[in-house]
Chains A and B, each alone.
Chain A
């Protein structure tokens, strides 16, 4: 498929500070993939995200978006069309008094003809399942609904990549589930490339790839099952692993022999139930 974003030996530090926030990052994000990025507070994961559309520029090294260097001032608008960002606080991202006007804000600024704007707004709102709310006032929506409107606003720019920086940190469980399933659908059904920065382990289990950031470096990079199977390393990083992985690890320590790549509740329950019931049968006979 090819890469949409490439980091070449990227180091970043804020002017007048002595610490590198990112150290020599080399990374490429495949088109159409779903990448989750985990890391403790201060690990550099948000800084990484802000390099993906030129909000921040590397102190050393280069970032390319669809082949364009983010340091090239003449191309920065193109880069921002290619990569849309969604942030943590939904209230800071909504500018208009009506949902559909909010979603139209970006394409209007891009000078898109008005009929096409109508089309893009309707399409974007349908994609995030908020079309019914197009005439509503954003401030009366729930957090999850507001975040989906913010995502629609980004989709209306027709980007190739969406970067979401802790989009669920301020949401309740239902809102979180709405946002995550929307993002997954965009990737799986509409071919959108997604980078999701998060603290929540369970939001990562359906990603194609999981990157763990630590002190400005990439500490782990692989499929979620691979990365989470290193329970001890994850805990040393100050991160948790999903409960499915922990319980399997502890059962295996007690003499069970269960596969360690079970991330979903259902598959984990299948394996544990089979093992436990088999033991009980053996015990009784």
Chain B
């Protein structure tokens, strides 16, 4: 059970210099094992700074981050241990592939954990399976793969450490719709099979509507909203106000309601919109 609790977290970059900038201020939040969370917010809202605290990549200026009650910044050993339990996939992770073969690249994390050869091989196969990287690619150079494949290899490298919490910073940026969908489904698959907590930093509202149970919205270094997609997407204007938007289906639903079409319940995905419209039009033919 990995429960992460963040208490009064503040982070100031370049403290004490003229460039001093507080990226997040007094953030408190609890993340429960197995949750699937999207972290949203405009550029510079502090969401990347926030997630980088969850595996001690950044240390708080003030406040604490605990995993199962233990301060992850207590000492060097805690800081090292948390990196195995909380895996972080950066933006454009494909630029960080560096080994000669796909298999070696995925094995890099487990190797550093000083696992046996068999265990490493087992984990490489398992992680590759989660992201749909076929074994026939194992001996290839990562540089020969397509952009989407490279990114999946990079994600597999983190999954191979079997993190209890998996954090991905904009995992679909720059990918086409099919590539994006494949990656989001790979991530969902990992969560369902492993029971891990998954945090995705994203700008994509349609993905947020489709793939998560909880949305945390950052604005100017603080948490502005925290709730289910239904709760958060009901606040169209507030989202626009913080530089975000709502899923397209929610936008259409709002325009329809303005025109007097009675749509029942929360509507922010295509299927919900279709269902609500069929009910509103009393269409029973399909």
For A275, what are the chain B residues with a Cβ–Cβ distance below 8 Å?
Answer: 281
From residue 156 to 175 of chain A, which have CB atoms closer than 8 A to chain B?
A: 166, 169-175
Q: Are A273 and B177 in contact (CB under 8 A)?
A: no
The contact of B177 among A172, A175, A239, A269, by CB within 8 Å, is A239
Expressed in whole angstroms, the Cα–Cα distance for A251 and B279 within the complex equals 12
Cβ of A142 within 8 Å of any chain B Cβ, yes or no, is yes
Cβ distance B204 to chain A, nearest Cβ, rounded Å: 9
Cβ of A134 within 8 Å of any chain B Cβ, yes or no, is no
Given contacts A88-B174, A280-B281, contact A174 B244 (CB under 8 A): yes
Cβ of A41 within 8 Å of any chain B Cβ, yes or no, is yes
Given contacts A172-B203, A243-B252, A250-B274, contact A40 B179 (CB under 8 A): yes
Q: Are B146 and A254 in contact (CB under 8 A)?
A: no
For A143, what are the chain B residues with a Cβ–Cβ distance below 8 Å?
Answer: 43
Expressed in whole angstroms, the Cα–Cα distance for A271 and B252 within the complex equals 12
From residue 211 to 270 of chain A, which have CB atoms closer than 8 A to chain B?
A: 238-240, 242-244, 246-247, 250-251, 253-256, 265-266, 268-270
Q: How many residues of B contact A (CB 8 A)?
A: 41
Given contacts A174-B244, A279-B282, A280-B282, contact A40 B178 (CB under 8 A): yes
Scoring B residues 239 to 265 as 1 if CB is less than 8 Å from chain A, else 0, what string do you get? Answer: 000011101110110011011110000
Cβ of A272 within 8 Å of any chain B Cβ, yes or no, is yes
Expressed in whole angstroms, the Cα–Cα distance for A251 and B282 within the complex equals 12
Given contacts A41-B148, A199-B177, A254-B278, contact A173 B256 (CB under 8 A): no
Cβ of A110 within 8 Å of any chain B Cβ, yes or no, is no
Interface residues on A, range: 35 or more
Q: Are B273 and A247 in contact (CB under 8 A)?
A: yes
Cβ of B134 within 8 Å of any chain A Cβ, yes or no, is no
Given contacts A172-B43, A269-B259, contact A247 B252 (CB under 8 A): yes
Q: Which residue of B lies closest to A171 (CB)?
A: B43
The contact of B174 among A42, A142, A166, by CB within 8 Å, is A166
Seen from chain B, the residues whose Cβ lies within 8 Å of a Cβ on chain A are 41-44, 146-148, 173-179, 203, 205, 243-245, 247-249, 251-252, 255-256, 258-261, 270, 273-274, 277-278, 280-283, 285-286
Q: Are B179 and A247 in contact (CB under 8 A)?
A: no
Expressed in whole angstroms, the Cα–Cα distance for A244 and B255 within the complex equals 12
Cβ of A276 within 8 Å of any chain B Cβ, yes or no, is yes
For B248, what are the chain A residues with a Cβ–Cβ distance below 8 Å?
Answer: 202, 242-244, 265
Q: Are A240 and B177 in contact (CB under 8 A)?
A: yes
4 tightest A-B contacts by CB? A269-B255, A243-B248, A174-B243, A273-B259
- Other CB < 8 Å A-B pairs besides A240-B177, A269-B252, A276-B261, 10 of them? A40-B178, A173-B205, A239-B176, A243-B252, A243-B273, A250-B270, A254-B278, A255-B283, A280-B281, A283-B282
Q: Which residue of A lies closest to B283 (CB)?
A: A254
Q: Are B243 and A238 in contact (CB under 8 A)?
A: no
Q: Are B178 and A169 in contact (CB under 8 A)?
A: no
Expressed in whole angstroms, the Cα–Cα distance for A277 and B258 within the complex equals 13
The contact of A142 among B42, B147, B249, by CB within 8 Å, is B42
Q: Which residue of B lies closest to A272 (CB)?
A: B256
For A171, what are the chain B residues with a Cβ–Cβ distance below 8 Å?
Answer: 43, 203
Expressed in whole angstroms, the Cα–Cα distance for A273 and B253 within the complex equals 10
For A280, what are the chain B residues with a Cβ–Cβ distance below 8 Å?
Answer: 280-282
Cβ distance B226 to chain A, nearest Cβ, rounded Å: 19
Q: Are B179 and A41 in contact (CB under 8 A)?
A: yes
11 example contacts (A-B, Cβ-Cβ < 8 A) are as follows A40-B176, A173-B42, A175-B43, A199-B174, A199-B176, A238-B178, A240-B177, A247-B249, A254-B278, A265-B248, A273-B259
Q: Are A247 and B281 in contact (CB under 8 A)?
A: no
The contact of B146 among A42, A88, A243, A270, by CB within 8 Å, is A42
Cβ distance A270 to chain B, nearest Cβ, rounded Å: 7
Cβ distance B261 to chain A, nearest Cβ, rounded Å: 5
Expressed in whole angstroms, the Cα–Cα distance for A276 and B248 within the complex equals 19
For A246, what are the chain B residues with a Cβ–Cβ distance below 8 Å?
Answer: 270
For B260, what are the chain A residues with a Cβ–Cβ distance below 8 Å?
Answer: 273, 277
Expressed in whole angstroms, the Cα–Cα distance for A250 and B281 within the complex equals 14
Q: Are A172 and B255 in contact (CB under 8 A)?
A: no
Q: Are B283 and A279 in contact (CB under 8 A)?
A: yes
For A142, what are the chain B residues with a Cβ–Cβ distance below 8 Å?
Answer: 42-44
Q: Which residue of B lies closest to A145 (CB)?
A: B43
Expressed in whole angstroms, the Cα–Cα distance for A41 and B175 within the complex equals 7
